[in-house]
A and B are shown apart, each in its own frame.
Chain A
């Protein structure tokens, strides 16, 4: 078992899968000569050559669509979209084409491809470069959307995504690339559509994904240590399909829930989770479900403003305390 970064886990998985299957190729802006904006693809051009590590012009719709067409003929493209913000230029090809090929033609063709893309704020990149718009994709049947939070999960989910015969949006987060974690020598592909209980507990359920799943775990550990509060943390891992069962089962056990999400509150992922809890655990709830989400503003550049706008360990801790107070929880 080695301790490696999230970045390294992604890199290693791409490399291993490229070695295993020559139909796998990488395509995106600056992934070859420049070695990737976030260096996930470092060294791969040298090792695999231009055919399999393909630098593209700045033409998101063109190259994402070309990947869809190549996938229709049986290649297995892994697209790097520099950040999720730029995926909007390719929205037509992702939503109107990749997601529809299998259903619209009665199962005669499909688009086995992975769209890797980082999202998230906190790097002082301003409003157009700091978004969490995974919801746009998680809304669409025909797409799968996964969001790993740890290096081990990154590896397991990327393997699963690359083996999958559907288009998978693989959500990374700029804040996670340098995080470290234990990764077993042999990692089995994850099961797409399954959430994980990353930390069992009995007093309250905290639900998160990507960066916020990690924040939730830190908060839960600290609450246990400092106050003896036992929080269960559910990491969604997959936003579509969504594992409502795991969420609802946990809330039936604990009787209350806080959802931690990096996206915007109104209509966000948390809204869907809260509705699911209402559908499946209404009678078990001892307090209203709370959501901790980003402030609904175009994310400002100035550091204190940006910090204020994003959910954090502190804001999540506050929400957990308030919920437990409402429940009448005694330490």
Chain B
């Protein structure tokens, strides 16, 4: 299921064929493989993956709704369509491992272990949010579960993640850093500088590229001279691999393998998960640039529905069991919305609380109309 950069065999799921919406998931051969993979995870584990994927699906639908109700401000980028990737990746990290993401991170925050209440509260800009309402959708953070931030600058998180791995290496600790990013990010200078540094210094960081083949409206082949992104690892003598991001088990397996390798050897790696973005770039983007075949393909590839079917046909779940999970999840999301709604807004008198960690003389605490003297 995975392709590695060291084997340079041509791939059928390259960006050019995908532009028209041709997706290969769902064919017979692949299903047989999936069934085999199903065997290695416990039924509870499988049901938990389904639950998390459903939770993220529901959560993101409600986030979009909150946005249209103007309860959520700013930008709002959703993980709809990427649930299998998100859950698969997070299943490979311990609580003590670190995660750096881009701005499309609600699902990661939840799957890394943050209470959905706090994630929703951050979207609502409340003090109970993951960043006390100071960060918003793009900037969630929680030391307790090792989410070291969502970042709004494309690629800005990559040097930071590399540095976190440097700190682990420096102390001789045993954690791993995962650095998530989109396909559009791989053309930023920071990506190349950091890949080189991580390989050069043997730092335990797994760079994960979510190739949903779109960066806003720019397709991966419009932006990347080598659009099979995992191959870029070769330039840094790094192991690179591509996995079907619609398959939670495949993602979990590949990611678990690379994370454990990094933990054992300190070697960095790159994982490309080929996935779908079901909606526009953000909630307000109607995605007019997208062909109807492609939009249809994205809907058809729905990883949550596919995994549900897969679990039912494997006998891990029955229809009742599935809807029970779906109802629980629905209730959790309702509760998150209520929690966010009931939480206090930050008080303007706290505006200057978080500019400096060490207080200094003459720190300006002027409001716009205050006189300087």
Q: Which residues of A line the B interface, CB within 8 A?
A: 25, 51, 56-57, 59, 61-75, 92-93, 96-97, 101-110, 112, 141-142, 144, 163-166, 191-194, 238, 241-245, 248, 275-276, 279-280
Contact = CB atoms under 8 A, between A and B. Distances in A.
Contacts of A164: 358, 360
Interface string B158-199: 111111111110100000000000000000011001101100
Nearest to B98: A73
Nearest to A242: B362
A69 B166 contact: yes
Given A73-B168, A193-B363, A66 B356 contact: no
Contacts of B358: 163-166
B153 A165 contact: no
Given A103-B134, A105-B139, A280-B373, A70 B166 contact: yes
Contact of A106 (B133, B196, B361): B133
B205 to A, nearest CB: 10
Nearest to B169: A51
A191 B363 CA distance: 12
Most buried by B among A70, A93, A104, A105: A105
Contact of B354 (A61, A69, A107, A280): A107
A93 B153 CA distance: 10
B163 A109 contact: no
A277 B160 CA distance: 40
Contacts of B165: 69
B92 interface: no
A246 to B, nearest CB: 9
B254 interface: no
Interface string B202-215: 00000000000000
Given A25-B170, A57-B196, A276-B372, A105 B149 contact: yes
B148 A109 contact: yes
A141 B133 CA distance: 19
Interface string B122-151: 000000010111110001011100001101
Interface in B17-50: none
A108 B143 contact: yes
B319 interface: no
A73 B164 contact: yes
25 contacts: A62-B190, A66-B162, A69-B160, A72-B148, A72-B167, A73-B98, A75-B166, A92-B156, A97-B151, A97-B159, A104-B131, A104-B134, A104-B139, A106-B135, A108-B131, A108-B141, A108-B142, A109-B141, A165-B358, A191-B360, A243-B361, A244-B362, A275-B372, A276-B372, A279-B373
B349 interface: no
Nearest to A102: B357
B163 A241 contact: no
B135 A104 contact: yes
B200 interface: yes
A72 B271 CA distance: 25
B320 interface: no
Most buried by A among B151, B193, B354, B372: B193
B119 to A, nearest CB: 14
A70 B163 CA distance: 4
A149 to B, nearest CB: 18
